[in-house]
Structure 1
Amino acid sequence: MSPHTVANYCRDLKKLLTAAGEMPLADLQVYHVRRFVAQLHGQGLAGRSLARLLSAWRGFFRWLGERGMLKANPCDGIRPPKSPRLLPKALSVDETARLLEPVEDDDPVQSTRDLAMFELFYSSGLRLAELVALDCDVLDSVMNDGEIRVLGKRSKLRLVPVGSKAREALAAWAALRPELARPDEKALFVGARGARISPRMVESRLARRAIQLGLPTHVHPHMLRHSFASHVLQSSGDLRAVQEMLGHASIASTQVYTHLDFQHLAKVYDAAHPRAKAK
């Protein structure tokens, strides 16, 4: 498991221990767990968070049962409360183009790096963790073949295309990278101290850029991934291809972008059809 997954499981199991108090875990019954879930929901924990929590608890009790430490799983049959499914927020094509315009900056090296990162985000639909984990050895395949090999969730490798604008931005950054990076640093993108850039710094630089360019919404890295998926689907209609490029294990995870696509069609319809709106 990735460190993030392990940390999430650890937090979830701590919540279980806190809720159980002095009661031994082996004595917990279904009604105890139902009460724990209701209490956490009452404290403001959303349905999706509770679903992940129950999944972690269920897996833990299953693990105990396999080792003869438990007779029955007290989480079996318990479902989390339903919560509305929020559609991911994506930028429009025009907003994305504005975000990726060159900007004047006090530090042209970092500005060049930023543009390369954000062009690559949008060009290839990368996750934040995937982008910061890239090393310089990916540049050959990017420049020569227009593709990049990415290590995604569950250590799953996938090959994704890199567009011409992103390749141009990466070439500009590769020329300036030695001015910022430590001599022995392998990371493709580095921070002000010359070491691998942190996810928080990427988030901060993107939000700062959006404000500089006057975008009307807070922009975060995953929004560029959503924008990539939405725009490719709008243009191609190929859901399976978008699934492969995003690295989704299930097509159900990708289908949310069909709703975004319909929203786009509805806006076009409302704006263009003579009888779409009451005047």
Structure 2
Amino acid sequence: MSDNPLRPPVQAFLRHLKVERQLSPLTLENYRRQLDMLMAMLAEMKISDWARCDAQTVRALVVRSRRGGLQAASLALRLSALRSFFDWLVSQGALSANPAKGVRAPKAPRHLPKNIDVDDVSRLLDIDINDPLAVRDRAMLEVMYGAGLRLSELVNLDCKHLDLASGEAWVMGKGSKERRLPVGRTAVIWTERWLGLRELFGPADDALFLAKTGRRISARNVQKRFAEWGILQGLNSHVHPHKLRHSFATHMLESSGDLRAVQELLGHANLSTTQIYTHLDFQHLASVYDAAHPRAKRGKS
């Protein structure tokens, strides 16, 4: 593939993403992988010039990708990478129009997020052990569920981001958007307990939650600890950080019915992202209705 004439423009595009747009290494790797796969398919189709790609070619790439077993969500990612690359070629004057603009990936089936019910969350959080790591873990669980944080937001919390007197935390969410959140009375209590033990670990910086080394705890470590506590506390479902965020959103919506407020708390840019939780809430209401209403019970006439 090193002598593939399709490659130099792709390499220039990736340099643009790295230097000018300053995208993360993970995002750059995703772009590179998708474009590599597309170049391989175009080589099989005997196409060696990006200018020869039209809408029919793009549709052919979609068909080949689907036949290769690519699922709808991954296909959408591949098309998005190609669309962005063609936009850049247009901006460079190499193409007059983006041939992928009107081509749409098939819709991915909408998977509803799984959540933990209120009783199981209470059982999970019922950790009352004086071991410093257990106190840290209880504080992390309480803060994540109490504020509905993303995993990245939890591990990036610094001590300076907390105002325990007012029960608030400041976080930097997706797209470098700041938001200030209430964390809940219980989360404040356990965070204060953890702060009383934090110095035992010899903090290397201002990170709120530390690993044994005294450095900021990693996302992988948090995932591992949460899963272990789920088993120790006897939960039937696998516990992971995002499930706690889903649970926060679902429980807040069930209690308040205020979709806009939940959107703000979660830091969603679009209300449509938050609306998925209305489906969860409806599922709960529908199951109650089916079980309770005399005219809904199956087998009755």
TM-score (norm 2): 0.85
Question: 1:2: Cα distance to partner?
Answer: 5.4
Distance 1:175 1:229 in 2: 30
Matched, 1:67 2:92: yes
Q: CA offsets per residue over residues 216-251 of structure 1, 9 Å max, x none?
A: 111211111100000000000000000001111110
Distance 1:19 1:135 in 2: 46
Question: 1:103: Cα distance to partner?
Answer: 5.7
Equivalent residue number for residue 162 of structure 1: 183
Distance 1:181 1:44 in 2: 50
Moved more, 17-26 or 91-100: 17-26
Is the 2:161–2:171 Cα contact (8 Å) retained in structure 1? no
Equivalent residue number for residue 199 of structure 1: 219
Equivalent residue number for residue 256 of structure 1: 276
Matched, 1:129 2:152: yes
The alignment covers a number of residue pairs equal to 274
Matched, 1:9 2:31: yes
Distance 1:2 1:132 in 2: 20
- For residues 122-271 of structure 1, the aligned pairs below 5 Å read 122-139=145-162, 141=163, 143-182=164-203, 184-271=204-291
- Amino acid paired to 1:213: Q
Distance 1:265 1:67 in 2: 54
Unaligned stretches of 5+ residues in structure 1: none
Aligned counterpart for 2:132 among listed residues 109, 114, 117? 109
Distance 1:123 1:2 in 2: 31
Larger RCO (CA under 8 A, 6+ residues apart): 1
Q: Percent identity?
A: 50
- For residues 43-58 of structure 1, the aligned pairs below 5 Å read 43-58=68-83
Moved more, 47-56 or 159-168: 47-56
- Amino acid paired to 2:197: L
Question: 1:88: Cα distance to partner?
Answer: 0.6
Q: Secondary structure at the match of 1:191?
A: coil
Question: 1:8: Cα distance to partner?
Answer: 3.1
> Which has the higher Rg, Structure 1 or Structure 2?
2
Moved more, 94-103 or 33-42: 33-42
TM-score (norm 1): 0.91
- Amino acid paired to 2:180: L
Distance 1:181 1:43 in 2: 52
Unaligned stretches of 5+ residues in structure 2: 1-21
Distance 1:117 1:12 in 2: 36
RMSD, matched Cα: 1.9
Is the 1:65–1:73 Cα contact (8 Å) retained in structure 2? yes
Distance 1:196 1:17 in 2: 40
Is the 1:133–1:187 Cα contact (8 Å) retained in structure 2? yes
